[in-house]
A and B are shown apart, each in its own frame.
Chain A
């Protein structure tokens, strides 16, 4: 009989793992980049720009690539989005710039904006030079909590304006989800850390890791010690399934599984079940499922409670899961997790359907045997680190105006801890805009 449960590390050879977690989409060669750049029409009032949350002048930078002006191209990207390098790799471009590209309308083949953006930003980072310099020191000092995309983008823009910045992060390594959330094959070769080095090289930015707001320091402490505070603490909590058996061995949060994998140098030491069931319908579910396969899981089934059309994972992500051998099952809600001696054996689902425009689950049950279940039904913002009641919360996240101002004077917030889409590029926009607001507010306060 099979050993139960079958959860093990080292399912694949080191060689195989290296291939599975290498760059999923290798960079364009110079020749490919110029052919692609020439496909851009250099649109006026370009739809792609409007579709980019950070509003990068896409035709402008692509023209730079077409003419061989890579420094100009990189400058154009980075002045709107200093994390243009990671965004080029992780953005779901099919629902952003490339989805809006006029060539999508014309022939379903957009200009590969993301890959071109990577071409230019790689050039910049490889050049070892800095595209921006700092304004004269202002003597102002701003605290940023969270060294994810939102915090880093804010820090860089503040540093450009001449302010000093200290970033605190709870984790041992900076980068936020770029470091421990994004799928390994999207940001291989320690890209997140290289990008942080590139960002911090402008000067005036200090990063303190293993420093936790609410444990090592309070918001009030920060307000007292700094001229302004930017909160970019992401979402520390995860949603529960709320069903029987959730505490069995073998049941895990997908984000924890991914974080463990990202922390591992090769993936060889990461245990994975032989039969894995992933519950959820978003990109986190897809990432967990694909990485489970790539670690060597034999059968991976992604189960989503409603129809494929309401999954938040994009079409490209779903297709990616399928090419990676993940089975996607829709219209099945988890009913209970069953185990033996505290260890998972199977998951039971109820089939559902659409009835009068609403989902009802009344179509009988089925059971999937599983060694491991990965839960990916959403993350939650936890307000615990903030001093209770000091800052307004709206729909479970920190309430902000369109420039990132919270209800507390000189306290700002952005990224996943505030309302809006949970995307790296949105976090970057929030951080950048908040920095401009902080700069404007501090400058107005001194009348300078």
Chain B
């Protein structure tokens, strides 16, 4: 049995699965249910200064695709709308009853040192294990010069992180917004400011859909809509890349990362871990199915680790990072060819039309005794994988790597103008 215990920036939890700061962690009631269900920890829904914010009614918009619900979720909710004292009392009570779990408190207060100085001792007093600075909320709060308005300016990230570190003994995680051009800027700033870890991603600015009758972005609030924050399975690719970028960059190497964004299964979790994450935060998947999803996440990850011979989370974290390179380090001599398993093929023609219309005309459409047959023309196939992705039958089209005799990367390629100049 793999050991799933996690020690992350000084914070212990029995497994690396935490609930992200969001509605699932907004109240003692929810958090207790989550911990009972087996979550290793929670990041409490972001606290702010009193008076609390006011949330609107109608808060979510969904991206459904081809019959799948909630491929993406968009929200226009703000931070907690409950008084600070209520949240603090609840955090204290939960922590007292669950000393083994990670209880991290997310914070967002105005960008003045006094505000941070005021709130930090109050949080410390609850016995919480750490804090997470919400520099990511992309709507509502950013217009009040908080959230992503801070996260988008590396100097502010560094400054606020430093204030916080100077005023608390608690491990400090800086939560990054993806609504920037280069994730390395705020990540580096957090590190310089003294952050113990970063977590990412927060939600992505979005208009999830437009109500064509109301003629307004969704969700529609009394006839009007606004942009919101996007999360759920659809954002995972964006999050994975940003996590991997921080993990592989020499400037930030070794900085603990809590991976967030579209994690719904143990497989997603494993991918985040090998791309450099140490813990994993989940929001949308829990909002979709409830807290019980953690059971399969735990056993799935553990079984996978056993299969691979990984004893502990530390053995997994960053495993794929050495193989995550820039494009110009890829071998241009490598070639793979599509291969169709004719017995599995159900003759839907999708591979043919995809390659014919939009790729390399490398799948012939044939008839043998009146029966459809699709065949790869090896000479034309560039190994782009499109057909394998459109084929509705699992493992029907496989990509077969061909023998490679040499390595030739772009910097050394004759077509590279830089080469010609030499």
In the complex, identify which listed stretch (A41-49, A153-161, A313-321, A334-342) lies at the interface while the others stay far away. Answer: A41-49
Residue A122 CB within 8 A of the other chain: no
Which chain B residue has the least Cβ–Cβ distance from A34?
B67
> Within 8 Å of chain A (Cβ to Cβ): is B350?
yes
Residue of A nearest to B344 (CB): A106
- Whether B349 sits at the interface, judged by CB under 8 Å, is yes
Prevailing SS type, chain A contact patch: helix
Asked if A47 meets B66 with Cβ closer than 8 Å, knowing A41-B392, A106-B392, A106-B393, the reply is no
Q: Chain B's nearest CB lies how many Å from the CB of A148?
A: 31
Assembled-state Cα–Cα distance A41/B352 (Å): 13
Q: How far is the CA of A39 from the CA of B67 in the complex (A)?
A: 9
Judging by beta carbons under 8 Å apart, are B353 and A44 in contact? Answer: yes
Question: A421 on the interface (CB 8 Å rule)?
Answer: no
Report B-chain residues with C-beta under 8 Å of the C-beta of A47: 347, 372
CB contacts under 8 Å to B, within A15-39, are: 34-35, 38-39
Q: Is the CB of A41 within 8 A of B67?
A: no
A44 in contact with B67 given A106-B392, A106-B393 (CB within 8 Å): no
What's the nearest-Cβ distance from chain A to residue B249, in Å? Answer: 41
**Interface: B346 (CB within 8 A):** yes
B92 at interface by CB-CB < 8 Å: no
Instruction: Point out the residues of chain B lying under 8 angstroms from A39, CB to CB.
Output: 67
A34-B67, A45-B372, A106-B392 known, 16 other contacts, Cβ within 8 Å = A35-B67, A38-B66, A39-B67, A41-B350, A43-B349, A43-B350, A44-B348, A45-B349, A46-B348, A46-B349, A47-B372, A102-B346, A102-B347, A102-B348, A105-B347, A106-B393
- Distance, CA A47 to CA B371, complexed state (A): 10
- Complex CA gap A106/B350 in Å reads 14
Q: What are the residues of chain A within 8 A of B335 when measuring CB–CB?
A: none
In angstroms, how far is the closest chain B Cβ from the Cβ of A224?
A: 46
Q: How far is the CB of A330 from chain B (nearest CB, A)?
A: 31
Q: Spell out A's residues near B (CB within 8 Å).
A: 34-35, 38-39, 41-47, 66, 102-103, 105-106
Between A and B, 13 residue pairs with Cβ closer than 8 Å are A41-B392, A43-B347, A43-B349, A44-B350, A44-B352, A44-B353, A45-B349, A45-B365, A46-B348, A46-B349, A105-B346, A106-B346, A106-B392
Within 8 A of A (CB), among B337-353: 346-350, 352-353
CB contact under 8 A between A41 and B66, given known A47-B372, A106-B393: no
Q: Is A38 a contact of B348 with CB atoms below 8 Å?
A: no
List, in ascending order, chain A residues with CB within 8 A of B348's CB. 41, 43-44, 46, 102
Residues of B within 8 A of A45 (CB): 349, 352, 365, 372
Cα(A107)–Cα(B349), bound, Å? 17
A103: chain B residues at CB < 8 Å are 346
A47 to B365, CA, bound (A): 13
The 10 closest A-B pairs by CB, nearest first: A44-B349, A38-B67, A44-B353, A102-B346, A43-B348, A105-B346, A106-B346, A102-B348, A45-B349, A41-B348
With a CB–CB cut-off of 8 A, which chain A residues contact B393?
A: 106
Query: For residue B367, which residue of chain A has the nearest CB?
Result: A45
B350 contacts across to A, CB distance below 8 A: 41-44
Within the assembled complex, what's the spacing in Å between the Cα atoms of A375 and B352?
Answer: 51
Nearest Cβ distance between residue B62 and chain A, in whole angstroms?
15
CB nearest to A42 among chain B residues: B350
Using CB atoms, name the residue of chain B closest to A104: B346
Chain B residues with CB below 8 A from A105, complex form? 346-347
Indicate the member of A41, A44, A106 with the most B CB atoms within 10 Å. A44
Inter-chain CA distance A34–B347, complex, in Å, is: 23
Give Cα A401–Cα B326 distance, bound, in whole angstroms: 66
A39 to B66, CA, bound (A): 9
Residues 385-405 of chain B, each 1 if its beta carbon lies under 8 Å from chain A, else 0: 000000011000000000000
Chain B residues whose CB sits within 8 angstroms of the CB of A106 once the complex forms: 346, 392-393
B266 smallest CB distance to A (angstroms): 26
Bound complex: CA A66 to CA B65 (Å) = 10
- Cα A102 to Cα B346 in complex, Å, equals 5
Question: B350 → chain A, closest Cβ, in Å?
Answer: 6
How distant is A165 from chain B, measured CB to nearest CB, in Å? 37
CB contacts (< 8 Å) of A34 on chain B: these are 67
Interface string of B349-380 (1 = CB under 8 A from A): 11011000000000001000000100000000
- The answer for the CA separation of A44 and B372 in the assembled complex, in Å, is 11
Residue of A nearest to B352 (CB): A44
Closest to B66 in A: A38
A34 to chain B, nearest CB (A): 7
Question: Least Cβ distance of A223 to chain B in Å?
Answer: 41
